Chain A
Amino acid sequence: MATFQIIWERSNRSNPDVVNSVQPNVLIIGAGPAGLAAAGYLAEKGITPLLVEQGLFAGGHAGSLPCQAVQACAKCGACLLEEAATRARLAGVSLKCRSILVSATKNGAVYQVTISSGPDYIDANRCSNCDQCYQICPVAGQALIKSPVRFGPQYGLQIEKCPPGCRACQEACPDKAIDLAAQARREELTVQAILLTAGFTPFDARLKPRLGYGRLPDVLTAMNLDHLLRDHQPLVRPSTGLPPANLAFIQCVGSRDVSIGRDYCSRVCCGYAMRLAKLVRHRWPAIKVTIFYMDLQNAGRNFDQFYREVKGQVTLIPAIPGEINLDDQGRLMVPYMDGATGLRHDSRFDLVVLSVGLGPPVLSGLDSFNLTKDTDGFPESRVDAGLWVAGAAAGPRGVAEAIASAERAAAEIAAMVKRS
């Protein structure tokens, strides 16, 4: 099909004001589902939040989650990101992407904060989302990428991936929204409260070298698989480009592991892997799916029925393989102890997906507060100092729970701001 324009008014869907002249009351760090929900809540209460996001777009990790529905909704909560984004958009929330908190100091009842932003190669205020830049970009999808959510900037440029000297997008833009020479800038603000919703840091699977991530191309993380499914790409073995005959998930990579100081369950991965397994089976019925687990954790309400459905189409093995190697045909050799016999069993897979655990966020600009950590190593709120932590930044949780916790924090912040 040639390029066509859809007949549909977009006028009521323009980008929000990225620069807001009203002084914000509350700084929210991280524009994932939690940050968006909190910002929307505060703005609805007449409080002005400013969302800063270090990535190119709003959405956070949830932005790459595919919908896991098969016949009916799988209750993964991924779509709640869009709900939170719509809420923030309708409430007129201000968002600065590509921005980090440099420093924050408490000055009486307020915070003096310094934010470093940009460079904003694409001015979201001018951009009309006409897509002409994307269509002309010789490396579209790599240098020029699109936002996963319908709030905030819709296009982002990773200039380090641009072909040298290429100015195609800037020249093609009818809105003069692209400036490849844009510079980063700093900004100082005064706010009454800070909400940290910086999300989680996924466990770096390279720290478990025997599992082969980074060394064996057919070993992926669940996040790699998310991207493939979300973008509706074919599922293939990176080593051969051919579809896999089978696939295995390995749970608890970077969770429930005292040896790496992760003495906690990441809570979301079991339900997540089981749903993904069902989705893979649904889209590619020929692919056989196995899940290696320690203990399968419950996911959502009515887990009994969901679990029965999973058992009907996925092989569940109560063992966590410790190493993955290649066999002489280039397939992945995954040894484990068979619980029925106690004997070592060598299984072969075309693809292995590691369910990496959720770790605490990397904090920036909050050094002066000596934030205390909970027993799992996640930062804790300091309500007395006007600093809240919510969402997955406060502990491993899924999208729905992250949003609920952010709303609770936002309600407390709203009460505090209105008192002062």
Chain B
Amino acid sequence: MNSPAQLIPVQVWPRVLIIGSAPVAGLLVDRLTAIGVEAVWAGGKALEGKAQGEQVIPEAELIAFTGLTGRFRAVFSTLGDRQEIQAGAVVLCSEELRVPYFTPQPGRILTVSTAEEELAGKGFTDWLPGGPRQIALVAGAGQVSSVGTIRRMMALAGKLVERTKGSVYFFAPHVKVASSGLERLYGQLREKGVVFLRTPEQGPSFDTSGERIRIRLFDPVARAELSLIPDLVIVEEALRPAPQLAAWADLMGLELAPDRFIGPDNVLYWPVLTNRRGIYALGPARGTDDEEQLAGQVSAVITEISNLLGTTQVQVPPVALQSNRCASCLTCLRVCPHGAIDFDYQPSFHPLACQACGTCASTCPGQAISYDGLIEPDLRARMGTALTRPKVEEGFSPRLMLFGCQRSAMTALEAVSGESHSRELAVQALPCGGYLDVNLVLTSLQSKGNQPGADGVMIAVCHQDNCRSMTGSPTARQRFTYLQSILKTISIEPTRLGLVTLAPNMGMELKHMIKEFRDRVLALGPLGTR
């Protein structure tokens, strides 16, 4: 199947474009500069304090984005001007957008950010004249706290308890401590006198009608209702996707996760990758606000960029265009999950970005795109040897065809390859569920001359959200449904077609699935004798 790798030279522009003004962007510029990589920083706010010689585009707004991996072109509007940047890689670092859990009221309900600013800017006595007696920090309250915000609130609680003679209460349904040093900090704060109180998930009961805020909470240890009238309430803020993320994703052809942050929510793209090779997202652009995770993301981006910028040759993509069949319909450009198609009257396949999923080849309405190494005659030959073997048992034994994604199904199958499968099973690997070709499946059911077709066809692809090409698994499902309707039309039981999803470590499960499918086809009897 795998032909020897053929390498071709590629060009990667040795420059990294960093878009956005999150504090991590500055850190990234410094780290890249330190390893000798040229970085251009297009930030939203003024970027004072950066060393001379660094290339900075202030007040930059992305207005156009073209090009492919290794040679991207971004156009910014900046202070009434236009500026175009060419870069080999792009990193998205939008600033945080924080939304308080409930409306702040000056002087008595503050957000964590405001409290941090005020505490940093003024002496504490100026901040709360007369000195506060009771301060309540409220985390959660109907939403899920993030570990990054809990870290900031704990730091705040520590400072407040040191500087006041009053009491500091920390209300939270869950104290998020799954990051370095937080459990220890939690213990230290309790020793210093911060009182942690578990609230219901919707938060404690608040009464803001009077002049003073009143918080009520049932304390299970005291078995009594606890009532607190704090002088000051500090509320958590949720990290939300910055408004520019959707615009960037649209311009750059990036996938937004269901939470509207950048990057597919897919473990194969963890922690910084996007669906386009060479474009990375981290920190608040990805929904991350914990410093430990952020440090990991920065290192991961540096590693990825070093690899990409150091690339001089890559494998030739296994897809090829037959120009005379191409109608320039743009379908391939639309369906490519990796933004790997360069379109100049006709498509060409960018070797740095192509992930060899074959989605373009199977979708092309003119069948103008061929996929090397997976062709119909090959399938015929396989089925010829696999499915016409003499029967050992008496009676009917079904001939089964399995189309399996190389990544998941084929790896899983290998785990149980020595074990009892059906000997009537022929297997055809697919580079991705997105390659599942309707004709391929129909061909496998068809008898040709004295070669019988399969009695049942099973399709095994990755779980939804675990597909390396994101759309591959859903595409396979769509085509499966379509195939079922075709079978119905031509009076073949649609249940002769099966679809399962699995992960590469599901060998045992796949074995069960094959057995179940075999039983199903066994019950249906041979195809075409009804």
Contacts and interface: CB of A to CB of B under 8 A. Distances in A.
Given A5-B423, A7-B423, A75-B265, A267 B179 contact: yes
B380 to A, nearest CB: 14
A75 B259 contact: no
A175 to B, nearest CB: 13
A284 B218 CA distance: 36
B271 A340 contact: no
Contacts of A80: 267-268
A79 B504 contact: yes
B190 to A, nearest CB: 11
Interface in A75-91: 75-83, 86
A146 B511 CA distance: 15
Interface in A36-95: 65-67, 69, 71-73, 75-83, 86
A263 B265 contact: no
Contact of A73 (B175, B287, B421, B464): B464
A337 interface: yes
B184 A264 contact: yes
Contacts of A407: 300, 303
Contacts of A263: 183-184, 187
A232 interface: yes
Contacts of B421: 4, 6
B404 to A, nearest CB: 10
A10 to B, nearest CB: 7
A1 B515 contact: yes
Given A67-B503, A80-B268, A304-B143, A395 B180 contact: yes
Contacts of B146: 298
Interface in A256-301: 256, 258, 263-265, 267, 270, 295-298, 300-301
Contacts of B267: 73, 75-77, 79-80, 400
A65 B184 contact: no
A343 B218 CA distance: 13
Contacts of A395: 180
B268 A232 contact: no
Contacts of B463: 67, 69, 72-73
Contacts of A81: 505
B223 interface: yes
B390 interface: no
Contacts of B286: 301
Contact of A375 (B175, B181, B296): B181
B183 A3 contact: no
Interface stretch (A129-137, A176-184, A327-335, A359-367): A129-137
Given A265-B178, A267-B179, A298 B144 contact: yes
B512 A301 contact: no
A78 B463 CA distance: 13
B329 to A, nearest CB: 31
Contacts of B502: 67
Interface in B253-267: 257-259, 261, 265-267
B506 interface: yes
Contacts of A318: 198
B507 to A, nearest CB: 9
Given A7-B425, A270-B178, A131 B419 contact: yes
B480 to A, nearest CB: 16
Nearest to B146: A298
Contacts, number: 193
Nearest to B464: A72
A295 B150 CA distance: 13
A107 interface: no
Given A400-B267, A404-B271, A67 B174 contact: no
Nearest to A6: B421
Interface string B491-517: 000000000011111101101100100
Nearest to B424: A4
Nearest to A255: B183
Given A264-B184, A301-B265, A303-B144, A7 B426 contact: yes
Looking at chain A's contact residues, is the secondary structure mostly helix, strand, loop, or mixed?
A: loop
B465 A66 contact: no
A1 B425 CA distance: 13
A129 B220 contact: no
Given A73-B465, A295-B174, A297-B178, A256 B505 contact: no
B151 interface: no
Interface in B126-172: 143-144, 146-147, 172
A2 B420 contact: yes
B2 to A, nearest CB: 7
Contacts of B261: 301
Interface string A221-260: 0000000001110000000000000000000000010100
A404 B265 contact: no
A408 B172 CA distance: 35
B118 interface: no
A307 interface: yes
Interface string A143-182: 0001010100000000000000000000000000000000
A214 interface: no
A13 interface: yes
A399 to B, nearest CB: 8
A187 to B, nearest CB: 30
B178 A83 contact: no
Contacts of B198: 318, 339
B422 interface: yes
A62 to B, nearest CB: 9
A12 B2 contact: yes
A8 B427 contact: yes
A346 interface: no
Given A65-B505, A407-B300, A71 B464 contact: yes
B249 interface: no
B183 A265 contact: yes
B78 to A, nearest CB: 32
Given A265-B182, A267-B178, A129 B300 contact: no
Interface of B: 1-2, 143-144, 146-147, 172, 174-184, 187, 198, 218-223, 257-259, 261, 265-268, 270-271, 286-287, 296, 299-300, 302-303, 306-307, 382, 385-386, 407-408, 411, 413-415, 417-423, 425-427, 462-466, 501-506, 508-509, 511-512, 515, 518
Interface of A: 1-8, 10, 12-13, 65-67, 69, 71-73, 75-83, 86, 129-131, 134, 146, 148, 150, 230-232, 256, 258, 263-265, 267, 270, 295-298, 300-305, 307, 318, 337-343, 375-376, 395, 400-401, 404-405, 407-408, 411
14 contacts: A1-B422, A2-B420, A7-B425, A76-B267, A77-B267, A79-B466, A81-B505, A86-B411, A231-B508, A258-B187, A265-B182, A297-B176, A298-B144, A304-B259
Given A1-B422, A67-B505, A307-B144, 11 more contacts: A6-B421, A12-B1, A12-B2, A67-B463, A72-B465, A131-B418, A232-B509, A297-B177, A298-B147, A342-B219, A342-B223
**Pairs of residues from A and B, 8 with the lowest C-beta to C-beta distance, nearest first:** A131-B418, A4-B423, A73-B466, A82-B504, A342-B220, A342-B223, A67-B503, A72-B464
